[in-house]
A = this chain, B = another copy of it.
Amino acid sequence: MPTSPAAARGYLHTIDLCVLRFCRETQALEILLNRREAEPFAGHWALPGIVVNGDVEDLTLNDAVERLRNSSKVGMPLAWIEQVGTVGDAFRDPRCWSSSTFYLAIASEAVQLAEHQGFFPLKDVADASIKLPFDHNSLVAAVQERLLSKALYSSLPLMFLGPEFSAPEAVDIFSVVLGRPVLKTSMRQRLLKMTEAGYLQETGRKKSGDGGRPQRTVENLKPASVYLFDRCFLE
């Protein structure tokens, strides 16, 4: 028995969000999951998503993304949202032929989570150590792949850090995203470039790190944009 008006029409188109954050305690990336209320897979942890075909109030796909972001499934500000792709086939949803348009999103602020929400290690979800229903594991893997490739030649990982951060914090987040050490001297060059280009500004403030000399901070002047470098980090 179909459980939604859209499924009754034999087709489902959903949008699904991969909301990532950087956990400073574990120094690892985490992904937001929701405990599903409705069938199928009620009670399982899955990506937050909504159906966009059928009688929805949204005027555009982006409106639907914003509605999902505002809903209790996400319910937090997002520093970045980017469409990654659309998959569709006859098997991924037991109800009917379905497509999913899925997004990479980045949350920089820590917020109180609801009962049905949880952040899980991205690594475990991407490699399916933590199994999700539908094909959500492969969507997460694709999102991780996108994040990694963009980290090579853009400032995207800085989105995890919020509007004010230090060079060592930048080194950390790039190292975590790329899964390998990044030299502070390379990072410094890149931050300098971004400053020259008007993306960053010295604040004059400092924050104390893990003991040792305090860290100077910079302010993100264009928090909604990523800067593109003309070279990649090398292997």
A interface with B by C-beta (< 8 Å): 6, 9-11, 13, 52-56, 58-61, 64, 83, 85-91, 97, 99, 101, 153, 230-232, 234
Given contacts A13-B13, A232-B231, contact A52 B99 (CB under 8 A): yes
Q: How many copies of this chain?
A: 2
A97 interface neighbour in B53, B86, B88, B89, Cβ under 8 Å: B53
For A101, the chain B residues whose CB sits under 8 A away are 86, 88, 99, 101
A52 interface neighbour in B54, B88, B230, B232, Cβ under 8 Å: B88
The 10 A-B pairs of least Cβ separation, nearest first, read A60-B89, A61-B88, A11-B53, A86-B86, A9-B9, A230-B232, A86-B101, A59-B90, A231-B231, A13-B13
A53 interface neighbour in B13, B85, B87, Cβ under 8 Å: B13
For A61, the chain B residues whose CB sits under 8 A away are 86-89, 99
Q: Is the interface of A mostly helix, strand, loop or mixed?
A: mixed
For A89, the chain B residues whose CB sits under 8 A away are 59-61
A215 to chain B, nearest CB (A): 30
For A13, the chain B residues whose CB sits under 8 A away are 11, 13, 53, 88, 99
For A59, the chain B residues whose CB sits under 8 A away are 89-91
CA distance A204 to B11 in the complex (A): 54
